[in-house]
Structure 1
Amino acid sequence: MRCVIFDLDGTLVDTAGDLIAAGNHQFQTLGYGDVLDLHQDAIVAGQGVRKLMAAGFARVKPDFDEADIDASHGLVVAYYRDNIAVHSTLYDGAVAAIEGLKRDGYAVGVCTNKPEGLAELLLGKLGVRDLFGALVGSDTMSERKPHPMPYAAAVARAGGDLAQSYLVGDTITDRKTATAANVPSALVSFGPIGQDVLQYAPDAVLDHYDDLARITQELIG
């Protein structure tokens, strides 16, 4: 079965607001106030809590080290888990487009570098978990993207054929994952990176989910 696999943060869902709110909650607790900015830090927010907190600490404590991040990491994740869908929203047209793929006989799944439990929780809170036939997170397999293993697992669990699949994402990690799996990639231009995804030379650029059916037909038929 032909199959389309989606990244999560920055591809299906704009999650930057809740991630930055979780980081700022911790910085407030430490007495620094709101250190992170939604517009300035949207890209790093999608790279994980550790990188997000490192970006913040660099502004308020230049001599910070890994111990500072270690001490905050669990608290940030706990706050984020409890507030995972306050600001996060699905990108415009995503649900209708994916429902259209399913009606046309495509399998669909999610492959993310977000921990599986958080990804399950987020999609459930947004009411779209049942839309996807598979969800593979950063800790589902022994490897994470850009290794091809989690992508291949997502395709298999969704009931798809790897040779008739492609990945929709928003970062160089997604582009590298697709290359490693020997499948095409489409990168969205409406995520935090915007039109800069063009520098990664994906097989297609998705400017809006209204274009998903056309791009899917072009890439895998």
Structure 2
Amino acid sequence: MARQPLNDRATVVFDLDGTLADTAADLIETMNVLMARENVAPVPVERARDVVGAGARAMIQRGFALGGRSLSQDKLDQLFVDFLDHYAQHLAVKTRLFPGVVEALDLLEAAGHRLAVCTNKVETHSVALLEALGVADRFAAICGRDTFAYAKPDPRHLTGTIEKAGGDPARAIMVGDSRTDIDTARAAGLPVVAVTFGYTDTPVTALAPDVIIDRFDELYDVVRALDPDLAAAVA
């Protein structure tokens, strides 16, 4: 059960892959199992920025494209099911939280923020991974691409996550690592913070988020600046 915020501050919503957690190794190793079955060259983990970040279906398509193979819709559907089955058993082998995540969550929680996760990972995997990493109880809502009938970059995925967390969709801040997160927040009319260490084929510096951070120890001050109520409380 997520802890209750001390005050009614803005909800802070996080992407998962490439934002809260460095999931690339486990994602790509799962994809490479499928690629080996299809006699396609594996994708090195160093290419994570080219394939990870828009959900499993997009990752499979991108990975096979790097191997010179296009996929029919039926084949993609089959590989997607196989991917989910394999990944469910291997989602926290090498995955770790990025440095400073726990400390940032501590500060935001102490300041009274609701915390939530809005990801294009499926919900069961998202919850299981965050439980394995020891932080699932920090979030009032963990919403995946299958939680609602729509997913990022549809802004309703973000606003629905905020509502499920008990927050106000008009008073929230998105934290992500990719064009998808930035476009989603923009469409919802919300400020967005982008991290530079995630998975994106376009540098976040070229995507014009409201703020860019290189480390999680910068996040609290950024949220303080973006949330007028918090700024006034700590001034």
The normalised TM-score by structure 2 is: 0.86
**1:137 CA drift (Å):** 1.1
User: CA offsets per residue over residues 125-160 of structure 1, 9 Å max, x none?
Assistant: 111100111111111111111122121122222222
Pick which of 141-150 and 61-70 moved more.
61-70
- Gaps (5+ residues) in structure 2? 1-7, 229-235
> Residue 61 of structure 1: CA displacement?
5.4
The alpha carbon displacement at 1:179 in A equals 1.1
Tell me the equivalent position of 1:131: 138
Match for 1:25 among 33, 44, 49?
A: 33
Residue segments in structure 1 that go unaligned for 5+ positions in a row: none
Distance 1:59 1:43 in 2: 9
Three-state SS of the structure 2 residue aligned to 1:152 is: helix
Note if contact 1:113-1:137 (Cα within 8 Å) is conserved in structure 2.
yes
Confirm or deny: 8 A CA contact 2:43 2:66 kept in the other structure. Answer: no
Partners of 2:23 and 2:119 in 1: CA distance: 13
Is 1:109 the counterpart of 2:116? The answer is: yes
Q: How far does the alpha carbon of each residue in 1:52-82 deviate from its partner, in whole angstroms, 9 at most, with x for none?
A: 3333333555464334323322112111110
The percentage of counterpart residues that share the same residue type is 35
- Cα separation, 1, equivalents of 2:110 and 2:71: 52
Residue in 1 aligned with 2:203?
A: 196
Partner of 1:168: 175
Superposition pairs for residues 1-221 of structure 1, below 5 Å? 1=8, 2-32=10-40, 35-60=42-67, 62=69, 64-193=71-200, 196-221=203-228
CA displacement at 1:195 relative to structure 2: 8.3
CA-atom RMSD, angstroms? 1.9
Distance (whole Å) between structure 1 residues aligned to residue 66 and residue 204 of structure 2: 27
Question: Taking structure 1 as the reference length, what is the TM-score of the superposition?
Answer: 0.91
Aligned residue pairs, count: 220
8 Å contact kept, 1:16–1:46: no
Q: CA-to-partner distance for each residue in 1:181-207, whole Å, 9 max, x for gaps?
A: 111000111112398101110000121
Aligned-partner Cα distance in 2 for 1:160–1:183: 13
Q: If each structure's helix is expressed as a fraction of its own residues, which one has the higher value?
A: 1
Give 1:115 deviation, angstroms: 1.1
Q: Give the whole-Å Cα distance in 2 for the aligned partners of 1:80 and 1:166.
A: 30
Aligned to 2:4: none
One-letter amino acid of the counterpart of residue 173, structure 2: Y
